[in-house]
Structures are given as C-alpha cells and as structure tokens.
Amino acid sequence: MTVREHDMPKDRTKAGVAAAIDHSVLKATATERQVRDCCAEALSNGFAAVCVNPHWVPLCAAELAGTGVTVCAVVGFPLGANASPVKAEEARLAVAQGARELDMVINVGAAKSGRWDEVEADIRAVVEAAGTAVVKAIIEACYLTDGEKVKACEAAERAGAGFVMTSTGFGTGGASAEDVRLIRATVGDRLKVKASGGIRSPHDALRMLEAGADRLGASGGVAIVAELAGKAGGGE
C-alpha cells in the first residue's frame, strides 16, 4: 500500500480513535493506584492496550484478565542500551507474567555507529524471547537521520518485529507526522506503525492516524477521546 493510501483519514469517531490508543503510564513515580486507574480507564474507554513498566505487568494482567484490553510491557526502556541477553530475559519474563505486546527500544548507540547487524540482532533476541507476543521496535526517531530511520525500520523488519514505533516519549522529541509517513513508506503493509510521544490532543491523534499510524501511545488518552467526543456532539 502506498503512502497516499495511508494518508486517507481513518475512523474519526471517539470509538475509532480510542481503539488505536495504547494507554500509557510509564513515569518512574507511577503508583499502584495510578496503574490500576490506567487499567480501569482503558476498559471504560475501549483502548487497545495499557503500556506499563515491567514491574506492573502482573497487576495489569490480573486487572484486565478476560477483557479485550492487551497488556503491553516496555523492554530496554527508555535508553535501549541494555545488553541483548538482558532485554531478551526482560521480554521473556514479561510474557510469562501476562504481557502480550512488548515495546522495546533498539540499541540507538549501535544505530548511530552504523552497526546495523547489531541493531538487528538485538531486536531479534527480543522477538525470539517474546514467542507469540507482538514486538514493537522503538527507533527513537529524534536521534536519527532520515537515512538511519529507514535502516532501523529495515533492521526491525528483518528481525521479525510486528511494529516500528517512533519514540519512547523520554527522548528529545516525540512523534511527528513526517516520521510516521517515512516509516510507513519504508515498511509498507508488512509491519504496523505506532506513533508515540507528545500526542496530547485530538488534532495530534488524527494527524498521526492520517499519516499512517495504526496505534498511538499516549498517557492522555482519556482527555483526547473526551475532547473528540465533545467536538462531535458526544456521538460515537
């Protein structure tokens, strides 16, 4: 599929946008109450997933058991500089505890060094440890040139990732529509695309979806869909 086709507007309803959101609570200071609230909000709003640090995976798995909301854990977060065996074990444990999606940060330093075989091997280690869980490779686009972004996408595809993801939200910049378009142009329909970082309004969300994102990482998803519903007169 071409970028032009992906630029066509996607579902603009509250339900449509909500179904694309990974509701995230990733701050170091996040409490048990905040994580439980994140799960409850994901359920009540129809979000795709909750995205949490690995410590909270068992809690979220228990809170969301039997629902349609997926538990997503971050791996090698937020720097991506962990040794590959450590990332793999982190992934393996998260899946064993109930995660069904993993947002893993690539080795950005290796990417900046042009060591693409290492980048690919690092992603593959997580993919293999993940089993049937979906791996989203975070390329942290704010640190990469356009050429490096393309190479990172290609490494993620060769390694078996299911998504390429723009950002951690902890770098010097978050998602941009331009990066989403570039990633989509590179991976086509073979991989999915997740935009994350700095998505705070319905305008931001819709812009990313229209640029080709399949999923949105956001901590403010509740406010986004509430504002979208208000602009639409409260309709679904």
CATH number, domain containing residue 99: 3.20.20.70
Is 236 inside any structural domain?
no
Specify the pTM: 0.93
Is 18 inside any structural domain?
yes
Is 100 inside any structural domain?
yes
Is 234 inside any structural domain?
no
Residue ranges making up the domain that contains 47: 3-229
- Cβ–Cβ under 8 Å, residues 135 and 161: yes
Is 63 inside any structural domain?
yes
Task: Calculate the dihedral angle through the C-alpha atoms of 207, 220, 127, 129, rounding to the nearest 10 degrees.
Answer: -170
SS3 24: strand
Structurally, how many domains does the chain consist of?
1
Tracing tokens 């359920």 back to the chain, one arrives at: 43
Kindly state the average pLDDT of the residues 146-174: 98
Task: Give the list of residues 6+ apart from residue 87 with CB closer than 8 angstroms, or none.
Answer: 75, 76, 104, 122, 125, 126, 129
Residue 232: per-residue pLDDT:
61
Is 203 inside any structural domain?
yes
Residue 236: per-residue pLDDT:
43
SS3 150: helix
Task: Give the list of residues 6+ apart from residue 158 with CB closer than 8 angstroms, or none.
Answer: 120, 124
**Average pLDDT score, the chain:** 94
